[in-house]
Amino acid sequence: MAKLCEGRVAVVTGAGRGIGREHALSLASQGAKVVVNDLGGNVDGSGGDLSPADQVVAEIKAMGGEAVSNGDDISSWEGSQRLINTAVESFGDLNIVVNNAGILRDRMLTNMTEEEWDAVIKVHLKGTFGPSRWAAAYWREQAKAGKPTSGRIINTTSVSGIYGNLGQTNYGAAKAGIASFTIIAALELARFNVTVNAVAPVALTRMTEGLGNAPETDEEREMRSPRWIAPIVTWLASDEAAGVTGRIFEASGQTLAIAEGWHRGPSHAPVEDPTKIGPVVAELLKAARPNAGMNGQDGTWPQSPR
């Protein structure tokens, strides 16, 4: 039986641990040759150690696959270019980019520093842009040269970004930006036969173990395993997913769903006089669905402090 990603070349960022590691192993198990990128830093982005990436490479080789490690900083222009070049130089092609790397610097808005904001935006948002941009340039040149392309970009957003979570204005803004980036890039790259999708994972990892309620049973721990995220990412990376683009998927041990995104709700004719806006907005709010909570469902959004 043919493997989903047989012979395809993949880059996975932040692949030394957690969700990224599961992506790399799953892609390799389905026949992909993998560039395992990881700085090996701490959760806040400090430090660096290539050994986690090397360990994943060793695991892939032990299962009979092909992989190389890469320690470039994907939030830098030059680093992201070197990462994409590593795939082409090592395996002769590039088909898949999984943008997974991330850090946390959680803080309430009133206490957040400029550095905490900048660091998170840089790693998540610019760290998605850089590899995607260089990969897109590679596929464009392939298309111009008349060579067949079948590119896949799979980004990592978050329910914190698409639904909202306290204490994460920096992280949530970056992740919401990634969701919008995904939709727009999908429109732009369709002409090169490249799809762009995103996954919002819910899993217990080094980054999330201090957030929310800790699992109390083995069953709860299993449902929050990062292994549940890799199947949808691996499928999206395959030729089977050629017709799927511009979509945001939620994935966890509890659900696989599509987040439907922004839609225009109840509307009213324009109102010129601001003193008459209040009753109109009240009627619109009464007819509109409330914002979703972190579970993606209606009715869980906090009420206005007024």
Known catalytic residues are: 171
d(CA 117, CA 236): 31
Q: Assess contact for 8 and 241: CB atoms under 8 A.
A: no
Which two three-digit tokens encode residue 207? Answer: 């980054």
Q: Assess contact for 153 and 99: CB atoms under 8 A.
A: yes
Neighbours of 9 (CB within 10 A): 21
Q: In the sheet that 256-259 helps form, which strands lie side by side, from edge to edge?
A: 67-70, 33-37, 9-12, 96-99, 151-156, 194-201, 248-251, 256-259
d(CA 273, CA 82): 56
Q: Assess contact for 99 and 127: CB atoms under 8 A.
A: yes
d(CA 199, CA 175): 10
Which two three-digit tokens encode residue 38? Answer: 């990881």
Which two three-digit tokens encode residue 165? Answer: 């979570």
List C-alpha distances in Å: 287 to 60, 88, 102, 222, 265.
53, 53, 38, 40, 8
